[in-house]
Structures are given as structure tokens and as C-alpha cells.
């Protein structure tokens, strides 16, 4: 008899507390990571943190209101979500009123 055993970590239950994200895996392990690993979750309200879906076959969790995903692999292997870097907007030059008047009279 062949039994297919998956070594993929799969989440069966998840809880977000005020300071951590706790996942219960199919194989009996419990994995906990700091809430700060997800800047979106750490900035979210407790109500927003509670609204999530376990994705697929337990590969991760998704918070549709926050557009946040956390994978079981990421939690196990220490891969936090980094805040995206802001792209600097080009600076607009301020034009003084006297310069505007000079251009209008020219």
C-alpha cells in the first residue's frame, strides 16, 4: 500500500493576537511569528485582523480587506513582509509671483 505524505507545511487554523500571528499546522506543529512581520496586519484594527481566509490547501492565509498574504513557508523559514519603498516624486519648482508677472508681460 502506498500512502502519499506531503511534506508541505499546511495551516489548519490561524489566530492573530495583539503581538503575534499563530498558525496551527496539519502535522501538529504550532508556529508563531511577531505581528510586526506583517506591517499591514500590525497597522490593521483587531476586526480587520480577524477577517482572513486560509488559502488553497492550507499553504497560507489571505486578508482580502488588507491585501495581505502570509504563507506557511514564510512563517516557518523566517520571511517577514517588508514595507515597500516609496518612490520619490519629482520636485516641482516653485515659481514666484514676480517671475509669473515677468513671463506674462514678455
Each residue's pLDDT expressed in tens, for the chain with a length of 106 residues? 555 566 889 999 999 999 999 999 999 999 999 999 999 999 999 999 999 999 999 999 999 999 999 999 999 998 887 788 876 666 666 655 655 556 565 5
User: HSE (CB half, 13 Å, CA atoms) of 80?
Assistant: 16
Whether 87 is in a domain gets the answer no
Determine how many CB atoms are found less than 10 A away from the CB of residue 74: 18
Structural domains of the chain, count: 1
Whether 28 is in a domain gets the answer yes
Whether 88 is in a domain gets the answer no
Whether 68 is in a domain gets the answer yes
In the chain, what is the greatest distance between 2 CA atoms, to the nearest angstrom?
93
Whether 49 is in a domain gets the answer yes
**Short-list 60, 51, 50, 52, CA closest to 25:** 60
Q: What angle do CA 83, 23, 21 make, to 5 degrees?
A: 40
Whether 1 is in a domain gets the answer no
Whether 103 is in a domain gets the answer no
Supply the CATH number for residue 37's domain: 3.30.2020.40
* 48: containing domain: 11-77
Amino acid at each position: 500500500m502506498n500512502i502519499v505524505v506531503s511534506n508541505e507545511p499546511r495551516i489548519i487554523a490561524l489566530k492573530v493576537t495583539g503581538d503575534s500571528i499563530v498558525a496551527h499546522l496539519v502535522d501538529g506543529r504550532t508556529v508563531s511569528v511577531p505581528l510586526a512581520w506583517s506591517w499591514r496586519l500590525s497597522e490593521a484594527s483587531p476586526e480587520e485582523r480577524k477577517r482572513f481566509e486560509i488559502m488553497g490547501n492550507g499553504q497560507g492565509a489571505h486578508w482580502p480587506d488588507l491585501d495581505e498574504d502570509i504563507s506557511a513557508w514564510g512563517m516557518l523559514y523566517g520571511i517577514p513582509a517588508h514595507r515597500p519603498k516609496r518612490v520619490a516624486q519629482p520636485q516641482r519648482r516653485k515659481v514666484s509671483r514676480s517671475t509669473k508677472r515677468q513671463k506674462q508681460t514678455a
